Amino acid sequence: MIRLYARVLGLLGPQRKLGWVLALANVALAAAGLAEPVLFGRIIDALASAQGFGGTPDWPKLTPLVTAWVGFALFLILCGALVALYADRLAHKRRQVVLSDQLQNPFDILEFHHPPGRIFRLKPEATRSTCIFRLKPEATRSTCSFRL
């Protein structure tokens, strides 16, 4: 399982470091998610034991537990939102890179078979003029109105 994570994170390319940070943050979120109910259980236990003896809760004992419980809850909320935000950004960046690479592939094939200096000539049936097409937007030499 760890080899699979390492392989996938290795495929992220330049965003590999962000991928590792997100993976470790998710592990920290899982650990905090397990610790929060344990702290809440200890708070309930302390309150129930104080009520069983007919006394008041021991606030010096409860204050650190409640503070830790609130801290874990805030950590879960904030860290979960940040991990989701950066994971979404990373997914969109990678999608953009993959799509641009896929779009570049046909242009690379065309450029390989027809070097940049070579011009494609087509003769339309309707006119006797010769249309010159280039794959670059700066192509201005054309006797027809359309360019690629």
Query: 52 with 124, same domain?
Result: no
Q: Which residue has the higher pLDDT, 145 or 55?
A: 55
Query: 26 with 65, same domain?
Result: yes
Mean pLDDT computed over 23-52: 90
pLDDT tens, residue by residue, 67-117? 999 999 999 999 999 999 999 999 998 888 888 878 777 777 777 666 665
Range of the domain at 135: 117-148
Count of structural domains within the chain:
2
Query: 99 with 136, same domain?
Result: no
Query: 30 with 93, same domain?
Result: yes
Rounded CA-CA distance 33/77 in Å is 10
The owner of tokens 């007919």 is 54
Q: Are 120 and 132 in contact (CB under 8 A)?
A: yes
Query: 67 with 38, same domain?
Result: yes
The pLDDT, as a whole number, for residue 52 is 77
Query: 77 with 126, same domain?
Result: no
The pLDDT, as a whole number, for residue 61 is 86
pLDDT of residue 132 exceeding 90: no
Query: 53 with 86, same domain?
Result: yes
Least confident of 39-43, 51-55, 66-70, 74-78: 51-55
Query: 86 with 148, same domain?
Result: no
Query: 29 with 91, same domain?
Result: yes
- pLDDT confidence tier of residue 50, bands split at 50, 70 and 90: confident
Rounded CA-CA distance 89/36 in Å is 28
The pLDDT, as a whole number, for residue 114 is 65
Question: Nearest to residue 17, comparing CAs of 32, 25, 88, 97?
Answer: 25
